[in-house]
Structure 1
Amino acid sequence: MNSIRQVPTRVKTRRVETNLGAEREQFDKQQLSSISKAINSTETPVKEKHARRIILGTHREKGAFTFWSYALGLPLASSSILSWKFCHVLHKVLRDGHHNSLQDCMRHHSSLIEIGSLWGNLHDKYGQLVALYSKLLCTKLEFHVKHSEIRPNLEVSDEVLERTAGSDINNVFQLTIEVFDYMDAELRLAETVLRQLNTSIAISTLTAGQCRLSPLIQVVQDCSHLYHFTVKLLFKLHACLPADTLQGHRDRFHDQFHSLKTFFNKARDMLYFKRLIQIPKLPDVRQL
């Protein structure tokens, strides 16, 4: 009886390599297609399905290497709308992508500064937004690289926040300032977007308006967590330091609270957000 001949190991290895190569090529093509469709100069919001494929790609390869390899080839200096949509996709990648995406993105911190500086020096409405968005993303990168236990989606337990703050009250004081700075960057972007649109209810139903508004979904998500952080940290500070020492912190908190409440109220009234996200309700001023 004839025995079945075994396939030589080198042939098996070659087949595996060929299959892996084909899979990699297919993955690269899909990522390039999704990036091209998500990030372009058309004044329309980024489609969720394209952003989702990019995010899933970071989980597949355990980082954002492929995203950046294609993103660096985008003509960001040629179109402020394209740059705006790039910032939006990058924000999504940081929030929902694989955790290694943070370090991969941090390697391109200087590129973000450059693109923000370029568009900030030009008289262009989207350029103004790009300058603010790149500043926010740089602030986000710096904060989470420094405080690695707090994920870029900001969804952490009070125990993790407590551990990050530590027992040294000076560190708690400094962390609170950093959270304030983070919130400021978020609010400046939101306020400028809404000011450009004059908060018209009708504008949120048009694709041109939605192109500006769509990143504010991530801003709402970020701000709701940052607000919670500031409240927790201020309670911790007031338990250890005299009230007059923290007057500056209290003033800054109240300014941010009023800005955040105004932002949330305006967003809640806009038709665009009603079907996409539930806007948190903040307490009345007299409750603070």
Structure 2
Amino acid sequence: MNSIRQVPSRMKSKMSETSLGEERDRFEKQQLSSISKAINSTETPVKEKHARRIILGTHREKGAYTFWSYAIGLPLSSNAILSWKFCHVLHKVLRDGHPNTLQDCMRHYSNIAETGTLWGNLRDKYGYGQLVSLYTKLLCSKLAFHTTHPEIRANLEATDEVLERTAGTDINNVFQLTVEVFDYMDTELRLAESVLRQLNTSIAISTLTSGQCKLAPLIQVIQDCSHLYHYTVKLLFKLHACLPADTLQGHRERFHDQFHRQVD
């Protein structure tokens, strides 16, 4: 009776490597397809299914290496709408991607900032240039804040205990953290205000794909602001328990200003 020969371990290893290589190729092609469909020069909002695949890709590889390997080659300096949609996707990736996405994106901080500087000095007929400039400032603020305070995730969903630990017991640190949160909130509100000002809050314009393209990122802005507002309330209570009221007059004025800008 003939016995079944076992596959040599060396051959098994080669077969496994081939399988992994093919799987990696499929993954990269799928990511490239999703990125090219999500980030383009067509004035339409980013489709959720394409952004979701990019986000899932960061969880699969535990980072944003593949995303950036393709994103770095996008012609951001040639088209403001493409740059706007890039910012929108990056905002989503930072909020909902794998935690390692933050450090991968931080490596490209200068590229993001340079894109904003470029479009801040240019004018395009659709008004996206100025919006891209503001959006990149928001993204750079997000990157800087969460790199400085890694215990607070980029989706800003931190418990009161995490915020308490981040603030610490030194009142000077609490004071500084409050300023940083105010600054972070300002970048969010400036972007939202500029988008709404351009659209002039017209219902007719907001129902067009061009209007939706500009409005779509405000979902992430609202999500960010809701958490930042909660942080400022908690931190201000902590500060007022330790410092004289007149010392915090500037903080209260900033809080009132940001509160009214959110509800107006």
**What is the root-mean-square deviation in Å for CA atoms of aligned residues?**
0.5
After superposition, where does 1:35-46 map in structure 2 within 5 Å?
35-46=35-46
Residue 138 (structure 1) aligned to one of 140, 147, 157: 140
For 1:71, the equivalent position in structure 2 comes to: 71
| 1:244 alignment counterpart | 246
Q: 1:53 corresponds to which residue? A: 53
User: Which position in structure 2 is the counterpart of 1:10?
Assistant: 10
Counting aligned pairs with the same residue, the percent is 81
Q: Using the alignment, how far apart are the partners of 2:34 and 2:203 within structure 1?
A: 31
5 Å matches for 1:187-226?
Answer: 187-226=189-228
Distance 1:202 1:48 in 2: 23
Q: TM-score, normalised by structure 1?
A: 0.90
**CA apart distance, 1:2:** 2.2
Question: In structure 1, what residue type is equivalent to 2:55?
Answer: I
Q: CA deviation at 1:30?
A: 0.2
Where 1:76 maps in the other structure, the secondary structure is coil
Structure 1 partner of 2:94: 94
Q: Which one of the candidate residues 236, 260, 263 is aligned to 1:261?
A: 263
Of residues 131, 146, 157, the one that matches 1:155 is 157
5 Å matches for 1:163-174? 163-174=165-176
Structure 2 residue runs without a partner (length 5+): none
Aligned counterpart, 1:270:
none
Q: Which runs of 4+ in 1 moved over 6 A?
A: none
Q: TM-score scaled to structure 2, two decimals?
A: 0.99
Specify the code of the residue in structure 2 equivalent to 1:151: R
Distance 2:255 2:263 in 1: 12
* Residue-pair matches, total: 262
Give 1:224-239 correspondences, 5 Å limit: 224-239=226-241
SS at match of 1:77: coil
CA distance in 2, matches of 1:252, 1:7: 71
Amino acid at match of 2:235: L
SS in 1 for 2:43: coil
